[in-house]
Structure 1
Amino acid sequence: MTEEHQLPDHLQARRIRILPWVMLLVMLLMVASIFIPVPYYVMRPGSAVALGPIIQVEEGKKDAKGAFMLTTVRMGEANPFWYVYAHLSPDAELVEKETVLNGGSDEDFTKREQAVMQNSQKIAEAVAFRLAGYPVKVENHGVTVMGTAEGLPAKGKLQVGDVIIAVDGHKTMERTILQQYLVKKKVGDTVEITFLRDEEEKTASITLAEIKDENGKRPGIGISLDNYQTIEIPKDVSIASKNIGGPSAGLMFTLEIYDQLNKDLDLTRGYKIAGTGTISDDGTVGRIGGINHKIVAADSAGAEIFFAPDDEGYATSNYEDAVVTAKRIGTSMKIVPVKNVRDAVKYLTSLAPKHS
């Protein structure tokens, strides 16, 4: 038989006085952890968004029985709470902040993501219209600066969104022309870069440094870049992508535009179809990041089919990673590999329409 002992009155009173202060301290520590930054971003499943209401093609059809959906990854600056959560949850991961920002600021990152998204939309329009048999005119007008690396010569002289139009007086209408010109120079050489910033022409003298990447060593100025293009298509297309950034919706943009152009064909076949992948001028579907999070987002939104890039040159393809995640979460969603947008179109046109 146990005996119960009651604390003396003065000790009980002391415990009562201390308890609120302990609780307050715990609450303050919890609140502080939300605002204490750590050098990581946390990535987790975002959403799957139907593209029908977002994309409007002039004289395009609006009566698809199913839906094409883009998928997103939710990403934000980590704090101690999210740091711990990411280590415990299979649906969250940490990415070093420096890897995300690539030597730039948060503002640079946002500008880069918006610029890449706009370029992705233009390419998707061109590919979809060509696929539907319409004439398309594409012209390169320079090279867009997508980022500047910390500690390399372009930092502080060029900004995200600048359009390089010449080097040493030689026109650079495509990024390959710029790259080929610089690779023939030597480290320590100085080049004069002519560029447009907010439509105003400017120049900057930049001394070449040694750039190290997966292709080895070469002279360069330390920028990530893309072609600045104008694309002429015979019908107006409006895409209200709001605050979604990045290039990974290219494939799904292309499919939605192509579907609206084909009034006699419902390419969705009545299914909810999600997917991801960049899109190139020739329709090639490229690798993206966060495929595991996009599978979770698509499954949560009730998608029945998911197109995943069947890319090469990596230990595992996006498609293979997608299959692993699909098995882990036990989804019935069909994961379909695609190398080119034509693979997706062929798969859907051979699919029996869904009976409601």
Structure 2
Amino acid sequence: MERADQRKQVTNRSLLWMAAMLLLLIALLYIPLPYYVIRPGSAIELQPLIQVEGGTKEEKGALMLTTVRMGEANPAWYVYAKLSPDVDIVEEEAVISHGETNEDFERREATVMTNSQQVAEAIAFERAGYKVKMEKQGVLVMGTIEDMPARGVLQIGDVITAVNGKRTRTTTDLFDQLKGKKEGEAVALTYLRESKEQKAVLPLKPLVDTEGKPTGRVGFGIRPDNKLLIEVPKKVTIGTKNIGGPSAGLMFTLEIYEQLKKNIDMTRGYRIAGTGTINPDGSVGRIGGIQHKIIAADIAGAEIFFAPTDSDGEVSNYDEAVATAKRIHTAMRVVPVKTVDDAISYLKQLKPKQT
């Protein structure tokens, strides 16, 4: 009888121990933390994803965009990120703005990606000698601010085309139209949503900066960007459904340009990766997470990597990329670019790869 009781006690302790371990495992893997984990993603060949009407695909090598993987942190990922040099942990509000939903974030990323593709098309066609129509269409809503009048009225992707009946073509126009107005005044907006014109009247409230300090200006609470109406003479299809953000702009431009320049293989047989936003003037802009993209490109066998050389941060993207390349001991060449023309010039002088 005593042995049976002892066995029962041992069994109970084992069950309690297993239950505790299960609860700990659940806590480690499923309890969300107010952080995001960022780590190397992949390098994706662009030739299969992009089709230019009448274009040719003669690449012996490959042009590749690079990505990062990003997800909500749990305790296990948090600890891993603190221990690994190849994983970053950032506060949630560095990724998703205060009051923004995951749906808002995904819509914003998709909108930015669409803009990036359209600008890439325009720059590639211009550099290939085609005429391109590029018209300032209005102010693109990239987000709304919590507790401000625009929240619940305007959506990410809306394009403001007029304020109080006056044409609004750029963010500068919008700021000028709101200058001198006071709290409590209202403005009548005309905007496009999925190409359909709509109207709204919004009151103005004081604006604050990212630290919550008054700016001395009033507004209705959006995160604005310029929206361009772009028309190119040939149809371009880009299949990147699960990729968001603007950082593939440079590589989109290069792939479209190469397909337009018939019978020219700009890759010269090399696997070429890169990153950087593309602007309407052809300049290449800074992006986040370049260290992760260097690792992704190296894993994919890239031999050349284009990195923006910028002055927006204390350390340029190019310097960050070089430091990571040295740390992981890759033979991949990191090439600095300020404009798409820098990248095109580099590829034109590149000697064909010897096989």
TM-score grouping bracket, smaller chain normalisation:
over 0.9
2:30 is aligned with 1:35: yes
For 2:102, the equivalent position in structure 1 comes to: 106
Structure 2 distance, partners of 1:94, 1:181, is 40
State the alpha-carbon separation in 2 of the partners of residues 335 and 50 from structure 1: 18
Relative distance call for 1:193 and 1:208 in structure 2 (3 A) is farther
Q: 2:202 aligned with 1:205, yes or no? A: yes
Partner SS state of residue 69, structure 2: strand
> Which whole-Å CA distance do the structure 2 matches of 1:23 and 1:210 have between them?
54
Contact kept in structure 2, 1:69 and 1:272, CA below 8 Å: yes
Q: Distance in 1 between matches of 2:312 and 2:235?
A: 37
Counterpart of 1:115, as a letter, is T
Give the Cα–Cα distance (whole angstroms) in 2 for the partners of residues 36 and 257 of structure 1. Answer: 44
Question: What is aligned with 2:258?
Answer: 259
Structure 2 counterpart of 1:248: 247
Report if the CA contact (8 A) 1:152-1:209 is conserved.
no
**Superposed CA offset, 1:114-159 (max 9, x none):** 0000000000000001001111111222222011122333223322
Larger deviation, residues 123-132 vs 309-318: 309-318
Q: Residue by residue, what CA displacement relative to the aligned partner does 1:6-48 show, whole Å, maximum 9, x if unpaired?
A: xx99757633542243123202320233221111111111111
Which residue of the partner structure matches residue 288 of structure 1? 287
Task: Specify the SS of the correspondent of 2:9.
Answer: helix
Residue in structure 1 matching 2:90, options 91, 95, 102: 95
Give, in angstroms, the shift of residue 227 of structure 1: 2.5
Q: Is the 8 A contact 2:123 2:280 kept in 1?
A: yes
Deviations 1:51-72 (A, max 9, x none): 0000001111112101110001
Deviating above 6 A after TM superposition, structure 1's stretches of 4 or more consecutive aligned residues are: none
Q: What is the one-letter code of the residue matched to 1:89? A: S
CA contact (8 A) 1:274 1:305 kept: yes
Measured after TM superposition, the shift of residue 93 of structure 1 is 1.2
Q: CA deviation at 1:217?
A: 5.0
Q: CA deviation at 1:313?
A: 3.1
Secondary structure in 2 aligned to 1:164?
Answer: strand
Structure 2 residue 43 is matched with structure 1 residue 44: no
- Per the alignment, residue 353 of structure 1 pairs with 352
Q: Single out whichever of 11-20 and 248-257 deviates more from structure 2.
A: 11-20
Q: In structure 1, which of residues 179, 183, 187 is the aligned counterpart of residue 175 of structure 2? A: 179
SS in 1 for 2:209: strand
- Closer, same or farther: CA 130–79 of 1 in aligned 2, 3 Å: same
Which letter maps to 2:329? G
Cα offset for 1:253? 0.1
1:73 is matched with 68
Post-superposition Cα deviations, 1:237-285, rounded to whole Å, max 9, x if no partner, equal 1000111000000000000001111113211111101110000011100
The whole-number CA distance in structure 2 between the counterparts of 1:154 and 1:203 is 10
Q: Give the SS at the match of 1:138.
A: strand
For the 8 Å contact 1:274–1:298, the answer to whether it is kept is yes
> Which residue of 2 is the match for residue 193 of structure 1?
189
Is residue 211–residue 222 contact of structure 1 (8 Å, CA) maintained in 2? Answer: no
Inter-partner Cα distance in structure 1 for 2:193 and 2:53: 32
Which moves more between the two structures, 270-279 or 183-192? Answer: 183-192
- TM-score normalised to structure 1 length: 0.92
* Deviation larger for 77-86 or 104-113: 77-86
Q: What are structure 1's unaligned runs of at least 5 residues?
A: 1-7
Kindly provide the amino acid, as one letter, of the partner of residue 334 in structure 1: R
Aligned to 1:3: none
Q: 2: CA distance between counterparts of 1:159 and 1:242? A: 21
Q: Sort the Cα spacing of 1:151 and 1:324 in 2 relative to 1 into closer, same or farther, 3 A.
A: farther
Q: Give me the TM-score of the superposition, normalised by structure 2.
A: 0.92
Shift of 1:182: 2.0
Is the contact made by 1:129 and 1:258 (CA closer than 8 Å) also made in structure 2?
yes
Structure-2 change in CA distance of 1:309 and 1:184 (3 Å): farther
Larger displacement relative to structure 2 (217-226 or 311-320): 217-226
Aligned mates of 2:56, 2:345 — CA distance in 1: 20
Whether 2:168 is the aligned partner of 1:169: answer no
**Contact 1:38/1:79, CA 8 A, preserved across alignment:** yes
Contact residue 184 and residue 203 of structure 2 kept, 8 A: no
Contact 1:183 1:220 in 2 (8 A): no
From 15, 19, 25, the equivalent of 2:14 is 19
1:187 & 1:331 partners in 2: Cα distance? 57
Give me the whole-angstrom Cα distance separating, in 1, the residues matched to 2:175 and 2:48: 40
For 2:130, which of 127, 134, 158 is the aligned residue? 134
Look up the SS of the partner of 1:101 in the other structure.
coil
What is the alpha-carbon distance in structure 1 between the residues aligned to residue 216 and residue 260 of structure 2? Answer: 46
1:153 aligns with 2:149: yes
